[in-house]
Structure 1
Amino acid sequence: MQSDQDAPALPHVPFTEEASADAATADAPRPAWRGWIHAGTFPFAVAMGIVLISLAATPAAKAASAVFMATSMVMFGVSATYHRFPWGPVVKRVLKRIDHTNIFLLIAGTYTPVAVCALPHTLMVVVLWVMWSGALLGVAFRVFWIGAPRWLYVPLYLALGCAAFLILPQLFAASVPMTVLVLAGGVAYILGAAVYGFKRPDPSPTFFGFHEVFHALTVVAFAAQWAGILVIALDPVR
């Protein structure tokens, strides 16, 4: 009879089953800064979300801004919780799945106020359907194949995030400052994804490694896109 250790690895894994990626990184050095960047950002994300919702000019802009706020809070909160504490194997694997799926949700959550506040109605509906459908597909992918290699799933993040290039004329027509800020945030996210995918630069594996560089870039990206969303939420086109 074939033992469990000899059984072939399958892409589909249960929600709490150990994947090869977990085993490969179990003994990796843990930088002292691991989790602190997103933990420190979380309360600021809450405050920035409250400001954004309060200042948004219309009920639709407020609702869309609330979606952005919620996905931002979940992303930073779960990331800090997952990375900061030495969880047991089962809890760690569950949090890892949630952490990775939150990236897709934040992408869709960021597009939501941009689409609602800056695009004509028909195009807004199309963009929201595409973004949230893609995000939910990405969530399913990351839940059921957490051990997938970086080169396979990082491009999925990038493809969904870079879809904004298809609607650049409409975004620039709505607001040049908003578009520039959202694109600047997108560039920071892309740089962060490259750092995460290539694991470089890795300044100090025991203090501030490549993962911390990635987290720092996500904070820069979030701040830039928050500012862009604030610009259009103050003066939406519809």
Structure 2
Amino acid sequence: MSSNQSNHTHITAYDVTNQALNATSHGISAALAILATLALYQQAHTSLAYFAYTIYGLAMVVLFTASTVYHCFYFTPIRNQLQILDHASIFLLIAGTYTPFCLLVLNSWLGWLIFGLEWTIALVGIYMKIRHPKTIKKFSTYLYLAMGWLVLLVIWPISQRIGWSGLAWLLAGGLTYSAGTYFYSRQARRYYHFIWHLFVSLAAAFMYLAVYLHI
């Protein structure tokens, strides 16, 4: 019996249900991300806005699509490769979410500085995830959190431009992502990874409302 056949004999009903929930949750989010991006285009009036919204929208779509594909093919030989892409896309989403705030809200040397810093970290993180996944695995969650909460360095000028309501949506997103890492770090427990997916989708929705309603 081949190793693949041996692995399949150990697949339980829980395994199938869990992966179906994981794939469905982010599959729905991927579809909603496409619609959300199109909605942003309706209120873009400059080339810079189109650029920022395109990067942001693509980051959301890629993250949720990569996650969906990974969980759809979880029981196949390409699982590990898809998982690397899934995890690498988290860096893409974080930097992508920063983009409209840096370019359209701050829109200054400070905004471009944070934009460059976030994307530099993201690209290095993606490279490490692809080339040295075992090395970065130990601290990637902390790196995700550090990238996300770097916003505290510019929280005051951002709040001056998007108001306290916009800031509330932004912080709600950050806190939801952070709270979700509890389940992500304990995903060996039953359905904890699915719960993590729900936190990611909810946090992304909060962040989107900050962008859509206040930029």
| 8 Å Cα contact 1:115-1:127 kept in structure 2 | yes
Deviations 1:10-48 (A, max 9, x none): xxxxxxxxxxxxx9xx97952141311001111111011
Matched, 1:106 2:88: no
Unaligned runs of 5+ in 1: 1-22, 234-238
TM-score by length of 1: 0.78
| Larger RCO of the pair (alpha carbons < 8 Å, separation 6+) | 1
Give 1:1-238 correspondences, 5 Å limit. Answer: 30=15, 31=18, 32-89=20-77, 91-148=78-135, 151-176=138-163, 177-199=165-187, 202=189, 205=190, 209-233=191-215
| 8 Å Cα contact 2:183-2:192 kept in structure 1 | yes
After TM superposition, give the deviation of residue 218 of structure 1 in Å: 0.5
Closer/same/farther in 2, CA of residues 149 and 195 from structure 1, 3 Å limit:
farther
Give secondary structure in 2 for the equivalent of 1:147. Answer: helix
Give me the identity figure in percent: 26
Partner Cα distance (1:74, 1:149) in 2: 21
After TM superposition, give the deviation of residue 148 of structure 1 in Å: 4.8
After TM superposition, give the deviation of residue 125 of structure 1 in Å: 1.2
Partner Cα distance (1:72, 1:154) in 2: 18
Deviations 1:191-232 (A, max 9, x none): 1122101338x4xx2xxx000010000100111111101123
| 8 Å Cα contact 1:56-1:230 kept in structure 2 | no
| 8 Å Cα contact 1:35-1:79 kept in structure 2 | yes
| 8 Å Cα contact 1:178-1:231 kept in structure 2 | yes
Deviations 1:133-190 (A, max 9, x none): 0000111121123335855211011111110011111111111222221111111111
| 8 Å Cα contact 1:151-1:197 kept in structure 2 | no
After TM superposition, give the deviation of residue 117 of structure 1 in Å: 1.3
After TM superposition, give the deviation of residue 96 of structure 1 in Å: 1.0
Higher relative helix content: 2
| 8 Å Cα contact 2:128-2:136 kept in structure 1 | no
Closer/same/farther in 2, CA of residues 57 and 180 from structure 1, 3 Å limit:
farther
| 8 Å Cα contact 1:192-1:214 kept in structure 2 | yes
Partner Cα distance (1:211, 1:219) in 2: 12
| 8 Å Cα contact 1:67-1:112 kept in structure 2 | yes
Partner Cα distance (2:137, 2:173) in 1: 21
Report how many residues are paired.
202
| 8 Å Cα contact 2:22-2:197 kept in structure 1 | no
| 8 Å Cα contact 2:106-2:158 kept in structure 1 | yes
Give 2:3's aligned residue: none
Moved more, 150-159 or 96-105: 150-159
